[in-house]
A = this chain, B = another copy of it.
Amino acid sequence: MGIDQLDGRLLVLLAEEPRIGVLEASRRLGVARGTVQARLDRLQSNGVIRGFGPQVDPAALGYPVTAFATLQIRQGQGTDVRAHLATVPEVLELHTTTGSGDMLCRLVARSNADLQRVIDRVVGFDGIVRAATAIVMENPVPLRIIPLVKQASEDQA
């Protein structure tokens, strides 16, 4: 478990310039191409790298409004609620959290007015007792992983 400095540098390089190939990466890192390939294979098989799928911006798709909803679930209804929320495209992620039957989900919508429709669809389901929604205004720190990668690889030093 854990990554060494070379893994860290490779991840940072790939994050900064995803278009470079294995060969170019090996040049930048000063190691053999086979080494980069072996590291990449290992990082993917042990799950550190989940994939290289496209990072899609919901706002550019026409969903510029983001919100977080805290849901209180009636005991025993968790499974049903999970299944229900999974069918709503505007639910981008869902977590169960500490607290009495609480869940937290990230929502997007086409507008503030549209958010009402999304929330109605989300909470219009038996088993959801209460919902509190916080609309996102700014995103000072967009989802990031590089600082953590650097920290993790330095810890391994």
Contacts and interface: CB of A to CB of B under 8 A. Distances in A.
Central interface residue in A54, A145, A152, by most chain B CB within 10 Å: A54
A51 B18 contact: yes
A48 B59 CA distance: 8
Given A18-B54, A53-B55, A140-B86, A63 B152 contact: yes
Contacts of A11: 54, 56
A148 B58 contact: yes
Contacts of A151: 89-90
Interface of A: 1-3, 11, 14-15, 18-19, 43, 46-63, 66, 68, 70, 82, 85-86, 89-99, 102, 104-106, 108, 134-145, 147-152, 155
